[in-house]
Structure 1
């Protein structure tokens, strides 16, 4: 008999033993829509990259040079707003629905003020950022424009991320998945029109004129920004007008509470620090790659996009892990939290092992989707085949970190990621890049991800990640 996450939470609060089959069914129910969402998101990223890639390697490199900075800024904000969804999951697990809605209201205020401040900051530094990253002068104008336009949409991207993760915390993975699918489809449509000029195409033997603005790299940024605006407004509208445990039309206070601020500091600050540590390391890696030439920059950027084919499944399972472990901890069921964490982690490792095989076999074909440049394809396929060996352990780190974060142990995740990324990946990349080029950088990545996965599995086995207990 199938059950929902809400029913599972009720059983956990009552101290019942939930059969493994029912737990696995809920994991799949939450994971499958998230994985399908990741597939669509990845497909649309492929389309975006292919649209830009066929303009030329310089266009790809212009976006690639600032991509790690977009990860840094958005990653820090995502770390903060994820703490709100963790609070919601734990409060729902404890059957504190009014407290969960209070967190939602406070997150809206947070998104408004912090999102606007982040957008202003991003626009302010966009003129200087490519130069700081060592970009070739010929790339700097497009790179600056891309980052400024992308930064302007941050308040809406934050809204979509926050409210979608909260819906998943309630057990509704389908709705945020559909929002993301719509956003990605709009992104592809907007980009197609904004990147390319007006042109004539042959369709079924007939010549058809297709309108386009021909804005190139800035057009790609604007397409992404517009789709973020639609996604953020749609997620907000659902919470405003749809009934459910998080419906904010129900009476409640908008007052900022001490408990929410304490939880934001306890969980959100380490999450933001973790994202900052990972993304700032990526910025430095891009700085290393930028000295290897335009071909290496393009191959690195497109290789990262291609690799997302593997880890999208891991992040889909991570969503289920965070929501379910959060509710188990809120219900004060350590035994169920452990079972769910191991079940999700094993599933993530198995799926990513299979996709790693696919990455190795189809590496040249994947690179060929993005660009026609033979040199970029050859180098990108070479580094992807190195990375394929790390995918199972990468899956372990992704899913196990979601379980630990759901339990409130974001500090432990921060420490493990900091040690592996800065102590292993960056150190090896600095040593190997001068002699082996981009291949050396990706070998460093592979070694670091394997080590990171082992560290997370060790912490998961020791069980100290559950010592944080339920949030205030």
Structure 2
């Protein structure tokens, strides 16, 4: 086998009964038994725990920016949140594709292929260099997005200032993102956690200094993020080599071969398009809300920041589930992979159910942390009520989507996203928002999340993801 090629799955041998009656293969493997995870709750939480703290740090960054913008005004709160979605839309095709480094690296690790680990890490670092031309084209692309979405003029003025600065963090964001994904595939989630808390502290200190000390306003918040993100991701690339180079060899950006490009096209590209489709749909969704007015957009943005608390365990468990599941498949243990997927899903549903209860019990208290305007409180309370209704379903969709991604079954996720996010959420919000306001728009999001949760659960129960090939 050539260096850098992830081994094809061996021929299917003995079968075992999986959840829901599906038949899952138990594949013989030449890999050492120690490379296969066991699929225990402790194992999942050990890997997911640092990722939860990483997500908490990123959520605190968003909270900090929203709180500071709240001191500047209602328009700034909504505009910066909307601008952040526009920036995600710009980078997500590439970032989502690069995040599959964890899948390829974990599969090679599970198979005991250290040369494959080194090669795939180098290939993804090479792909991460796409951030340089993307940053150069970014201002023009973002202006085109504003023209397409047509937000309120007051929102556009603030968001454009913010984004034309934030775009310069894109090269470091993508290259460092590839390095962090490789670490997750190797089971190292503590280093990304420490880097996340570093970026939180640097961003908060610089944001206060630039916004209020220097009087730069929204531009100050943007420059604080650029400096913090660049520092974080530069350290990620350096630490990948320092911590894991002694075992796997030198990690250096490499050009993929034709065969590797085929693998990236089958697995990584659909994953990137899925993230782009979902977040761009949400950007258009927020654009629909922005046309209702700055108050509606601010209420929606604050409620969404609160909902991001639920993403702490859900996305951490999604990453941990996908990584462990891919490693189990690499070791030839599809039965353990199925156990990992369902166990991660149950944990996420439990965590997010607790958050839904808080949304129902303390809506005005939570919204009031950001803004005490009576109009914002009233609208935000209605949005939180809708969000409370879908928290458990969202946990199911996030983790099972991550499990399917870890198996390489990324095209199914793309189909669900294109149908659900665009036809259900965006079209539904466009029809409901003019009549029922911001709460009606979020009701369309509720229907999309329910659709995705059911679709992913049926797909995972079928066991068809086992046959996905990297």
Whether TM-score is above 0.5 comes out as: yes
- Following superposition, the deviation at residue 11 of structure 1 comes to 9.8
Does the CA contact (< 8 Å) of 1:83 and 1:263 recur in 2? no
Q: What SS does the aligned partner of 2:429 have?
A: helix
Which runs of no fewer than 5 residues in structure 1 stay unpaired?
1-9, 197-211
For 2:302, the equivalent position in structure 1 comes to 302
Question: What whole-Å deviation, never above 9, does each CA across 1:135-175 have from its counterpart, x for those lacking one?
Answer: 33333332112111111101111123221121111111111
Distance (Å, rounded) in 2 between the aligned partners of 1:261 and 1:435: 47
Question: What whole-Å deviation, never above 9, does each CA across 1:197-232 have from its counterpart, x for those lacking one?
Answer: xxxxxxxxxxxxxxx111111111111111110011
Label 1:147 to 1:253 Cα distance change in 2 as closer, same or farther (>3 A). closer
Does the CA contact (< 8 Å) of 2:318 and 2:403 recur in 1? yes
Which runs of no fewer than 5 residues in structure 2 stay unpaired?
1-27
For 1:206, the equivalent position in structure 2 comes to none
| Residue of 31, 44, 48 corresponding to 2:65 | 48
- Following superposition, the deviation at residue 248 of structure 1 comes to 4.6
For 1:270, the equivalent position in structure 2 comes to 270
Answering whether residue 201 of structure 2 is matched by residue 185 of structure 1, we say yes
Distance (Å, rounded) in 2 between the aligned partners of 1:91 and 1:286: 40
- Following superposition, the deviation at residue 257 of structure 1 comes to 2.4
- Following superposition, the deviation at residue 304 of structure 1 comes to 1.4
For 1:356, the equivalent position in structure 2 comes to 356
Question: What whole-Å deviation, never above 9, does each CA across 1:101-151 have from its counterpart, x for those lacking one?
Answer: 112122222212x10121112122344543432133333332112111111
Question: What whole-Å deviation, never above 9, does each CA across 1:336-383 have from its counterpart, x for those lacking one?
Answer: 111111111111111111122123223222222222333212211220
Label 1:451 to 1:270 Cα distance change in 2 as closer, same or farther (>3 A). same
Answering whether residue 86 of structure 2 is matched by residue 69 of structure 1, we say yes
Distance (Å, rounded) in 2 between the aligned partners of 1:33 and 1:241: 20
State TM-score, norm by structure 2. Answer: 0.89
For 2:283, the equivalent position in structure 1 comes to 283
For 2:228, the equivalent position in structure 1 comes to 227
Answering whether residue 108 of structure 2 is matched by residue 91 of structure 1, we say yes
Q: What SS does the aligned partner of 2:332 have?
A: coil
Answering whether residue 28 of structure 2 is matched by residue 27 of structure 1, we say no
For 1:148, the equivalent position in structure 2 comes to 164
Question: What whole-Å deviation, never above 9, does each CA across 1:6-25 have from its counterpart, x for those lacking one?
Answer: xxxx99945699896x6222
Distance (Å, rounded) in 1 between the aligned partners of 2:262 and 2:246: 23
Q: What SS does the aligned partner of 2:112 have?
A: coil
- Following superposition, the deviation at residue 41 of structure 1 comes to 1.9
Distance (Å, rounded) in 1 between the aligned partners of 2:74 and 2:444: 24
For these two proteins, the number of residue pairs brought into alignment is 443
Does the CA contact (< 8 Å) of 2:364 and 2:381 recur in 1? yes
Distance (Å, rounded) in 2 between the aligned partners of 1:135 and 1:19: 48
Label 1:274 to 1:135 Cα distance change in 2 as closer, same or farther (>3 A). same
Distance (Å, rounded) in 2 between the aligned partners of 1:338 and 1:412: 17
State TM-score, norm by structure 1. Answer: 0.88
What's the C-alpha RMSD, in Å, of the aligned pairs? 2.3
For 2:181, the equivalent position in structure 1 comes to 165
